C-alpha cells in the first residue's frame, strides 16, 4: 500500500439518540463532537438516526403488509377485470 493516501482508521463512537444506544468501532468517519466512553477515554462521536437498536427489522416491531387483503379490496372496488372489455 502506498503511504499517505489512505484515510485514518481510528476508533469512533456511533450513537443512536432515539434509542439511547451507542457502540464503539473503528471507522474512517470522524465527528466534530466527542464523548467519554466506558473505558475513560474520549472518542469522536457520530450521531445516527437509526441503528440496530431502533430499526423495526431488528426490534421485531415491523409491520407485515397484507397483500392478499389489498388485492381483494382492489377487486371489490374496481372489479376483477375478467371478461369486462
Q: How many residues does the chain have?
A: 85
Tell me if the pTM is above 0.75: no
CA distances, 65 to each of 28, 57, 83 (Å): 38, 14, 29
DSSP conformational letter for 13: E
Check: CB of residue 22 under 8 Å from CB of residue 5: no
Q: What is the pLDDT of residue 27?
A: 95
Residue ranges of the chain with per-residue pLDDT less than 70: 1, 55-68, 80-85
| Phi/psi-derived region of residue 3, left when phi > 0, alpha when psi is between -120 and 50, beta in every other case | beta
According to the model, what pLDDT value does residue 26 have?
A: 95
Alpha carbons 33 and 31: distance in angstroms, whole number: 6
Amino acid at each position: 500500500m502506498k503511504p499517505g493516501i489512505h484515510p485514518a482508521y481510528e476508533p469512533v463512537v456511533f450513537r443512536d439518540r432515539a434509542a439511547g444506544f451507542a457502540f464503539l468501532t473503528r471507522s474512517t468517519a470522524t465527528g466534530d463532537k466527542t464523548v467519554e466512553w466506558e473505558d475513560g477515554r474520549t472518542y469522536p462521536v457520530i450521531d445516527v438516526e437509526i441503528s440496530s437498536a431502533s430499526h423495526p427489522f431488528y426490534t421485531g416491531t415491523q409491520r407485515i403488509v397484507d397483500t392478499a387483503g389489498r388485492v381483494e379490496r382492489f377487486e371489490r372496488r374496481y372489479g376483477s377485470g375478467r371478461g369486462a372489455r
